[in-house]
Structure formats: C-alpha cells, structure tokens
Amino acid sequence: MTTLKSVRGTRDLLPPETALWNRIEATARSVFGGYNFGEIRTPIFEDTGLFARGVGEETDIVSKEMYTWSDGERFDEKKMIAEWLDRYRPDDPAQVQAGRVKVENFSPIISKLNQLGVQLQVSWGASVPGYPLPTSVPELVGFRPAVSAEAISVLMKARELAKSDPASDLRQHAVRLRLVVPSSAALNSWIERGEVHIEQFEGQFFASSQSLTLRPENTAGVVRAYIEHKLGETGQLQKLYYIGPQFRRERPQKGRYRQFSQIGAEVIGPPSAGSESPLRDAEVLEMLATLLDELGITGWTLEINSVGSSADRARYNEVLRQALIPVAPRMCADCQRRAVTNPLRVLDCKVPEDQPIIDSLPKIVDSLDEASKVHFAAVLAALDAAGVPYTRNHRLVRGLDYYTRTTFEFTHGGLGAQNALLGGGRYDGLSEAIGGPRAPGIGFAMGEDRLVLTIQAQEKLAPPQVAQVVDAFIAPLGDAKNEEALTRINAAALTLARELRRAGLSVELGDGSFRLKKSFEAADKVARRIVIVGEDELASGILTVKTFSTGVQTKIPRAELAHLLAEPV
C-alpha cells in the first residue's frame, strides 16, 4: 500500500522546532500586550465574497490562489421523488415503480435506466391529476435540479434504451418523457422543444448552499468581525491581534507554503477615535521594530511607500497606462497583460530585463494629492523622531487591493527569494467596501514561518548554549520479572512525578523495567538530575539523586527533594 504523505505545501512542525514557534508567539503576545492590543480569533473559512470584495477580485490571491468550495449545494433527489409520488400516486399504485412497488416486465431495464439517472418509470395510468395525459401512454420520468441539455439527452437515451430492450413492455408504445425540476429552478428555452414535458414541482429540494474559502489572509476577516459586532459603536480604536494559519495555492518553495501562519495586528476605528492619524502608522511600525528586536532578529530593512487615496491610485493607474503604451511591447508577457488590465501590478514584476524600464516609469508619489502627501510626511517624521530606520521604495504597491496611503514591508536578506518577513499598510476604505461604516485602519501580518527560518539561520551562526532539558528524570528501579513489584514501583514513581510537577518542576518519567544503566543513559540526555526510586527508597523515604553536571550523588529525604531539584546547576 502506498504511504500517505502530508499535502504539497503543508508541513508538520515537530519538537524541538515547535518550541521556537511557541517562543515567537509568546514574545509577540507580550509585546502586543504592552501596546494594549487584545487577541481576536476569526474563523478559518469565510464567505468567498468577503475576499472577493475585500482583497480584490483582480489580485493574484483571489484570482488564482484561494481554496474555494461550494458548501451544502446538494440536490435532494430522494426527497423530491418521495414527495412527487406522494402527491401523484395513481389509483393503482402497482403501476408505478420507484423501488416501492413492483412493475412487471420492466425489471431488466430498470437498473440501466437508473444508471442513466432516470430514477422513475411510470407506466400507463400515472398521469398527473389535473394534467390531462391519455392514461394509456407510458412515461419515463427523470428528476433533476434544473433543466439542462444534459438532462434532456439522458431522457432521450432512456427512451431509446427502453424501446430497444427486447424484454421491455415499452417497445410497443409511444413513450412520453417527463423531466421534473424544482419550481425554484429557472426554466430555459428547452421547455419549448416539445419532446420532453417539463414539470416544475413545488418544494424546497436543495440543502442551502454557499461559496466558502479558506482564509488567504486575516485582515478582511477582522474587518468583517468589526462590522458584525458593531465594534465601531464603542467610539474607541480597536487594537486587535491574531495568530493562525492562512492558505494560498502558491508554488511551494523555501519560505513559501500553501498553509502558513501569520502573526498580525490591526488598528481600526471611526475617524473620531483617531484611526486616520499618521501617529497610528508610526506606532505600528515602531512596535514592529521593537518586536523584531525582542525576537533577536537583526539585519532587517523597513521599506515604506504611500499609495495615496483610492482616487490617487486611480489617477496613477491612468498615468502608468499611458506611460506603458510605448514600452510595454519590450516587456515580459505578464507585464504586457498588466499594462492593459491593472498597470499598477507592473511594479511587482521581478523579470531582470524589465527592471530598467520599470525604474523609468512615473512614480506614484507624484500622483498623490496634498492630504496624502502631508500624511506620509508626518509618518516619516514620527519614525525619524523615534529612531526607526526605513528606506523609501517607490515600487511598493503591495498585492492586495485594499491599501490606501502607507504601505510597508520588512525584508530580510537571509530569506532568499521570499524575503518579506512581513507586510502591511493602511486600508481606509476596506470597511465600506464590505458593507460597513467608515472605519479607517492600519495593520500588518508577519509570516511566522519566515520568522522561524530567520531565527534558525541566526542561531546556526551562534547556537544557543543550553539545550532544552528538564529538572529531573525519575528512574523507577523494578524487577522486570516480578509483575506485582514492577507495578508497585511504577505507580510510586508516577506519584512522585506528580508531586514534583505540582511543585513547579519539569519532570521526565522512566520505566521500572529499565536496567539502572539504561535509566542513567536516558536521563543524561534529557535531564539535569536523576532520582532513583527502588524498593529500598520507598521503604526508607530516602531518595538517591545524582546531578549530572557535577557528578555528585546524594541521599535526601523525600520532603526535601523538590527543594534540591529546584536548585540551579
């Protein structure tokens, strides 16, 4: 049998690496707490429309990378057949076949008809009350969620089959065809064809359906929650952070996965709460510099830009469109397409030959209106004052449509091609775009996988001095041949481990069937000290403890054990 593996672009995280993930998350929570952020947890899947409207239908994320499915769109054929039969049962039910009553002479073709999707065969006499069909005419009836060419052709085929089957009673007759569809299903021109009688049948035969998507990012979900819970009505700024998985169908490579984790934060609120202030932008950026410092990540670069208001962006798009007309034919195929569909995205191009052309294009800063210029200048001035270093990058327009004014990324040289540690910016129109009140905001998301890669690379250069070890290894010393004694010793060791763990110590538990030498070897790998629990120790209440780093072995009363084990070595 082939062994199953984790899906392409997904990974298992194992100890000890998970310890690093936890350390990063704990540091982030602690720093966010210092800036008065609270945690928000939004669902991992949302209505597809949220991302289409929030992130933007034309973006790579929405147009190519989302995991989307239709949920609950199920046509309940069984229910429809049962109700239909109930309503139209002819006087002689023996003439109707639906798996409920027998029909003579049809049996050889019934399963073939079923395979074709014609669930029911109604013999003569089953015409609908109030619908004058000659009772002598046999019918084949199909049930479908909607009228379609496929449904019609299935019925036609069924009739051919019935008429060509030597065992079929239908051979001698003109067989009618009826297609039953829910009355909610829109009818199209097929009804005019006359070959097939189409019947709209009253009733709800669909489980409710919705297009759902695994979240490719968390900002849209946070803003949806802000609107849904009317957080704007508090009149306060909302400062929310999140940690969790996101999903994008990208080509996997180092630092780029299909399931990845983001640590992000958003500041959002009504303008009266100061949500538009450039101080908010600067504070978020200063917090990020602090967080990266706390994580011990050195050598990062903050790149910053302003994409202006949505009117500025529209103006710039037009300027770019014009500027691209003469040069686009010399650019890559993607750029030639973008030059027409979404000129702004030309700035994301990584093809080396296109770079000199792109560098010579008009810059967005020249399309900003006065208010956006003033806002951007104020952000930069606050960063200067706080001593947060940055580089201006005119091409940083970011791949999501909701951005306005400030956009930024922190990059790290050690990451290779996927060098963005984190990205973010302001999104002053996002709430309105998804049906909410005016609620300007700014936020960011860090790629946690990339933080881990960066820290691991740094630690390889300067590995941490102490490996992760526990305070004590409890070594029960039993007699493997004496079940009863072994059970007693193991139980005593578990009790002791429980006592010590409750006293706040970290403890690893051995096994009474281990020989003493094996216990020492196991303990030496994971613990600072070993505690031996044998029959003698149990009887006397005096335990033997050895400290590995000093080689000192002592005997100590059980009551003093926790105290000794807590002593640093």
Which residues form the interface with ligand HAM (CB under 6 A)?
217-219, 248, 250, 255-257, 260, 262, 264, 266, 400, 420-425, 427, 443-445, 447, 449-450
In degrees rounded to 5, what are phi and psi of residue 546?
A: -120, 135
Q: Are strands 139-143 and 196-201 parallel, antiparallel or unpaired?
A: unpaired
- Cβ-Cβ contacts under 8 Å for 62 (sequence gap 6 or more): 51, 52, 55, 56, 216
CB of 218 to ligand HAM, least distance (A): 6
What is the nearest approach in angstroms of ligand HAM to the Cβ of residue 421? 6
Copy the structure tokens of residue 496. Answer: 């002791």
Q: 500: alpha, beta or left, given left = phi > 0 and alpha = psi -120 to 50? A: alpha
Tell me which residue of 393, 390, 401, 394 sits closest to 427, measured CA to CA.
401
Residue 9: CB minimum distance to ligand HAM, A:
8
Minimum Å gap between C-beta 447 and ligand HAM is 2
User: Nearer to ligand HAM by C-beta: 407 or 490?
Assistant: 407
Sequence length of the chain is 569
Contact in structure between 450 and 420 (CB atoms under 8 Å): yes
Q: Which residue number, 243 or 496, has a Cβ lying nearer to ligand HAM? A: 243
Q: How far is the CB of 280 from ligand HAM (least distance, A)?
A: 12
Q: Using CA atoms, how far apart are residues 422 and 263, in angstroms rounded to an integer?
A: 9
Nearer to ligand HAM, 56 or 425 (CB): 425
Cβ within 8 Å of residue 7, ≥6 positions away: 258
Report, in angstroms and rounded to the nearest whole number, the Rg of the chain calculated over CA atoms: 35
Q: Give min distance, CB of 466 to ligand HAM, in A.
A: 29
Question: Which bin fits 33, alpha (ψ -120 to 50), beta or left (φ > 0)?
Answer: alpha
Instruction: Name which of 406, 527, 391, 401 is nearest 468 in CA terms.
Output: 527
From the CB of 422, what's the least distance to ligand HAM, in Å?
5
For ligand HAM, the closer of residues 197 and 258 by Cβ is 258
> Toward ligand HAM, which CB reaches closer, 263 or 533?
263
Q: Closer to ligand HAM at the Cβ: 358 or 422?
A: 422
Half-sphere exposure of residue 101, counting CA atoms within 13 Å on the CB side?
A: 13
Comparing CB distances to ligand HAM, the nearer of 248 and 338 is 248
CB distance 154 to 196 below 8 Å = no
CB of 35 to ligand HAM, least distance (A): 15
Which lies closer to ligand HAM via its Cβ, residue 135 or residue 253?
A: 253
Q: Could you tell me if 124 and 138 are in contact, meaning their C-beta atoms sit under 8 angstroms apart?
A: yes
Assess whether the previous peptide bond of 16 is cis (omega < 30° from 0): yes
CB of 197 to ligand HAM, least distance (A): 53
Instruction: With CA atoms as reference, report the closest residue to 444 among 419, 420, 423.
Output: 423
User: Quick one: 310 or 513, whose CB is closer to ligand HAM?
Assistant: 310
In the numeric block, the tokens 């004496």 are attached to: 482
To ligand HAM, the closest distance from the beta carbon of 398 in angstroms equals: 6
**Spatial CA neighbour of 281 closest among 148, 173, 441, 162:** 441
Taking the least distance from each CB to ligand HAM, the nearer of 37 and 75 is 37
Find the residue with minimal CB distance to ligand HAM.
447
Identity of the residue numbered 133: L
